[in-house]
Amino acid sequence: MSIDRMSAPELLGLNRFNVDEEEPHIIIDKEICRRCAEKPCLYVCPAVLYKLDKNGEMSFDYAGCLECGTCRVMCKNKGIIKWAYPRGTFGVSFRWG
């Protein structure tokens, strides 16, 4: 399939991830997230990794992170208590088809 005919989800599906199960590269503080009224992370993450669970609690899984840094910039209440690039050999490998 030609890359210019692929949808965004299809293109994202081409990426490969080597998830570091021992050391998360992003950590959130759910207490801070609970007090955050705007919760911009729910809307700005291109990989849609921030979600609210059925109890309204912030749910986040760093697997699938595109390492764009948008959540770090948009989180004004410092709910993201750690943001770093993954350790060497871990993280996303972008593939363009």
Nearer to ligand SF4, 52 or 68 (CB): 68
Selected from 11, 12, 42, 66, the binder of ligand SF4 by CB under 6 A is 66
Concatenate the DSSP letters of all residues of the chain into one string. Answer: --GGG--HHHHHTT-EEE--SSS-SEEE-HHHHHH-SS-THHHH-TT--EEE-TTS-EEE--TT-----HHHHH-TT--EEEE-PPPTT-EEE----
Closest distance to ligand SF4 from the beta carbon of 74 (Å): 8
Does 73 bind ligand SF4 (CB under 6 A)? Our answer is: no
Chain residues in the site for ligand SF4 (CB under 6 A): 26, 44-47, 49, 65-71
